[in-house]
Amino acid sequence: MKKIGLIIAMGLLWAVLSPAPIGAADSLNEGVNRYRAGDFKGAIDSFTRALEIRPDDYVAYNNRGLAKQELKDHRGAVADFNRSIQLKPGYHVSYYNRGVSREALRDVAGAIADFTKAIALKPDYYKAYNNRGVCRAKKKDYAGALGDFQKAIEMDPDNGMGYCNRGLVKNLKGDRKGACVDFRIALRKGYGPAKDRIRRNCR
């Protein structure tokens, strides 16, 4: 698949959300701390210990999947997100995170389905709109992609990534002027990668 430079917003980590045995809660929170420190292998060990104590902990499966995602083990991540969703079908975070890994595995249609489900469960989920827009652009559904980036921007007006991604799609459609407007807004919003887009596309 041709790389078009659109940016996927990465996955979401959650701490303890529901009552859990003390040992499981401690291991889960230890895993979150290790994840935030960049120790993804250690985080996987902690989340696995939490699951040994509480095998039905959908948050631990989600978080372990996210640590695997950071290590580029996207197939292992998808397996954990699948289990999280099986345990908690209404958990929008795991649909979103699975979509990120599916996109990385080039299962673009599967990623679109996951981001769409995440939006259905949480209609103000601007990152899911952004990521679905990226996937739609890869499918050459530029109208759908522009609509998704517009929704992401409306929900988070300071979302520089959304402006940059919208600019990239406008550029693909031949609207260089409109693209450059979006790249410059993205840069003003503090989104650094837009600077290179301006240098390469705007005079």
**Residue that wins the pLDDT comparison between 142 and 26:** 142
pLDDT tens digits, residue range 38-61?
Answer: 999 999 999 999 999 999 999 999
Contact by Cβ (8 Å): 85, 51: no
Interval 59-85 mean pLDDT: 96
Whole-number pLDDT of residue 25: 85
At 154 the pLDDT is 97
Say which residues have a Cβ less than 8 Å from residue 91's Cβ, sequence separation at least 6.
Answer: 58, 62, 84, 85, 121
Question: Domains (ranges, CATH) in the chain?
Answer: 22-123 (1.25.40.10)
Burial class (CB in 10 A: 0-12, 13-18, 19+), 102: buried
Is residue 35 within 8 Å of residue 43, measured between CB atoms? Answer: yes
- Say whether pTM exceeds 0.85: yes
Residue range 105-118, pLDDT digits in tens = 999 999 999 999 99
Mean pLDDT of 69-90: 97
How far are the Cα atoms of 95, 133, 148, 150, 176 from residue 155, in angstroms, in the given order?
20, 14, 11, 9, 25
Contact 62, 46 (CB under 8 A): no
